[in-house]
Structure 1
Amino acid sequence: MLTCEWTREQGWATPLIQPYGNLSLPPSASVLHYAIECFEGLKAYKDRSGAVRLFRPELNMQRLLNSAQRLALPSFDPTELLALVEETVKTDSDWIPDQPGYSLYIRPTIIGTQESLGVSPPNKALLFVICCPVGPYYKTGFSPVNYAGGILPQTKVAPAGYQQILWLFGPDHQVTEVGTMNCFIYWTNEQDELELVTPALTDGTILPGVTRDSILELGRNWNEFKVSERTVTMQQLTRALGEGRVHEMFGAGTAAVVSPIKAIHYNGQDLQIPLDKKDPTSMAGPLAMRFWEAITMIQYGEIQHEWSVKIA
């Protein structure tokens, strides 16, 4: 693991790569009382030749900087942090599985460690990076999930068979995110256009996901359907389902890349989402599968692409 302390008086100390171990924090540390912390999540992959690769890591470093600045945590140079992350991953490279679908999860984190009770910008902070081997999100292939619309805790909807929460916003029930993933709808819109749509980033409620950005860029490069970032409400989605205009829905994020959605419970009713209209036995729609294949092939170096950064 990597650790690096910061104080307002002296700035960043010398980073230290050391074996994984416990952190020592005072009970009054600001992170424990006011949740002054932020973190990132990315993965390291081994390609067929055994080389270690990261997927668009500069975006994660910039996003962590944005989060830190928003929380009045110390600033840093994203390029320098990426170099530290790369060195940490190289040190832990023996922990990166070499089977397809496996990877090393990387969690850079910054926490406020000021010893005082009171809400204020911390004068002390700690940056640390930990890593953990992870397997395929779907061990036996795609497994679509049900999302329960609303704001009830996931623990309350799990007994009814729903694996995630579909978060809605505002009186018009705008679709926002699914659990911790960005949400995508592939449909024929009201103008009779094939469209891939996801909520926009304009108001700060939507996570600027790296996978989200990758899907949008791939879709625009394919130039086979309209790609939009805009508001979609549950009323619009329900009407489109009733008219047979919805082709697929899926979540997108680092852990699963894409996660197909097959049902949404909304207003006391299960709305059935098509997966593959041509194959009722399919567990993922053709577009979701296409995005998954394109991104994972880049991640594992099967396709040479600027998004895949070879570090060792």
Structure 2
Amino acid sequence: MDIRFVKRDVLKEKPDQKHLGFGKYMTDYMFVMDWTKEDGWKDARIVPEGPISLEPACVTLHYAQETFEGMKAYRTAEGKIQLFRPEMNAKRMINSNARLCMPEFPVDMFVEAVKALVKVEADWVPSEPETSLYIRPFMFATEAALGVHMASAYKFMIICCPVGAYYAEGINPVKILVEDELVRAVKGGTGFTKCGGNYAGSILGQVKAEKLGYSQVLWLDGEHRKYVEEVGTMNIMFKIAGEIYTAPIEGTVLPGVTRDSMIHLLRDWGYKVNETRLSVDDLMKAGHDGTLEEVFGTGTAAVISPVGELRYKDDVVTINDFKIGELTQKLYDTLTGIQWGKLPDKYGWTVPVE
């Protein structure tokens, strides 16, 4: 791609790396590229980060035709910068776009755009332990015309922000509420896509959970409200009697990059990973009879999040005495070790930004 660069007059002041939080501080620049029905993708550019102008009739504002991705850039101890499996994010966005009738942004262009922006923003990639540069590629319709239809114009953008730990609790166990009234996704819907509507629809459950003192919601399947699927911002895995259980990728669960990476690691270590439906009743039974040994969420933002308590209706179980499990810790240490370059990458997952 020929990427045009527009230099910023005055660079932003960088935040304290020890107090980054998550998603608070945007970097100096953003990547932008436009698509029209007539010309396809055109005018790739890196420009100063700032507001964008939209017509009030922009179809995305009315019909939510948008998708996004979440990924990170990591600084190694040697000062080098690397990405983690960016091609998986690119392919997932292609699948999300296809479901929402949006144009495909090719894998090679996606990875090139991410690399180009991260290279420009190299000084923003933090070096403090547990920190990284969060990368948010997203696409949305820009046509100004009311009416539900595939739009004639779209914009692909990437913004970045340096981040610390996703949860204030850090790697400590969190409490999760099983939602038994609302549903997140159904087969044939958009549950497998990364689109804003999925997250907007989950906020009510999150609010309900927080009022009861829980950090996140564990969603059940939309058809039977019986099988555990995923947490609002993460896939989730259960270690029961020495085996791993996680919901299958059948159209209602996001195919997480971290999820896939964890499954690779677990199977390499000899664990049996069951990608199968697990009923909430069986899960709670395992919690009470002691066979539920560990529970952990997986996702790009949090990496891995141990679960110390599950509540379903009026039934509550505590997992592993509300301590992080041995396997959960090993998974976290191994995956982050690969991401930050502390451990060898035998899978070829890391991609240098040079």
Aligned partner of 1:146 among 175, 185, 190? 175
1:294 to 321, 334, 343: 334
CA distance in 1, matches of 2:170, 2:209: 24
User: Which among 277, 282, 304 is matched to residue 231 of structure 1?
Assistant: 277
Match of 1:173 in 2: 226
What is aligned with 1:191?
A: none
- Choose from 32, 40, 44 the match for 1:15: 44
| Alignment TM-score, normalising by the size of structure 1 | 0.92
1:309 maps onto 2:351 in alignment: yes
Q: Contact 2:288–2:317 at 8 Å: present in 1 too?
A: no
Going from structure 1 to structure 2, the CA distance change for 1:116 and 1:140 (only over 3 Å counts) comes to closer
Partner of residue 253, structure 2: 206
RMSD: 1.4
- Provide structure 2 residue ranges, at least 5 long, that are not aligned to the other structure: 1-29, 183-203
Give the 5 Å matches for 1:106-255: 106-137=135-166, 141-150=170-179, 151=182, 153-169=205-221, 170-171=223-224, 173-188=226-241, 194-202=242-250, 204-223=251-270, 225-255=271-301
Indicate the residue corresponding to 2:84 in structure 1: 55
| Local SS of the residue matching 1:83 | helix
CA distance in structure 1 between the aligned counterparts of 2:91 and 2:44, rounded to whole angstroms: 19
Matches within 5 A, 1:240-279: 240-274=286-320
Partner secondary structure for residue 216 of structure 1: helix
Question: Contact 1:52 / 1:310 at 8 angstroms: preserved in 2?
Answer: yes
Cα distance in structure 2, aligned partners of 1:126 and 1:263: 42
Structure 1 stretches of at least 4 aligned residues deviating more than 6 Å after TM superposition: none
- Quote how far apart the aligned CAs of 1:141 are: 4.8
Q: How many angstroms apart in 2 are the aligned matches of 1:68 and 1:140?
A: 34
C-alpha contact (below 8 Å) 1:142/1:283 kept by paired residues: no
Q: Deviations over 1:127-167 (max 9, x none)?
A: 00000000123567522111111135211221221111110
Any conservation in 2 of the 1:58–1:78 contact (CA below 8 Å)? yes
User: 2:171 and 2:82 mapped to 1: Cα distance?
Assistant: 24
Question: TM-score under structure 2 normalisation?
Answer: 0.82
Identity of aligned residues (%): 41
Distance in structure 1 (CA, Å) of the matches to 2:237 and 2:323: 17
> Alignment partner for residue 66 of structure 2, among 28, 37, 44?
37
Distance 1:258 1:164 in 2: 14
In 1: Cα distance, 2:63 partner to 2:168 partner: 37
- Alignment check: 8 A CA contact 1:172 1:233 kept: no
Offset at 1:16? 0.5
Alpha-carbon deviations, 1:270-297, whole Å to 9, x = none?
22222xxxxx5x7311111110000000
Q: Unaligned stretches of 5+ in structure 1?
A: 189-193, 275-279
For residues 225 and 211 of structure 2, the distance between their equivalents in structure 1, rounded to whole angstroms, comes to 27
After superposition, the C-alpha distances for 1:160-211 in whole angstroms (9 at most, x for unaligned) are: 21111110113351100112100100011xxxxx211100002x00000000
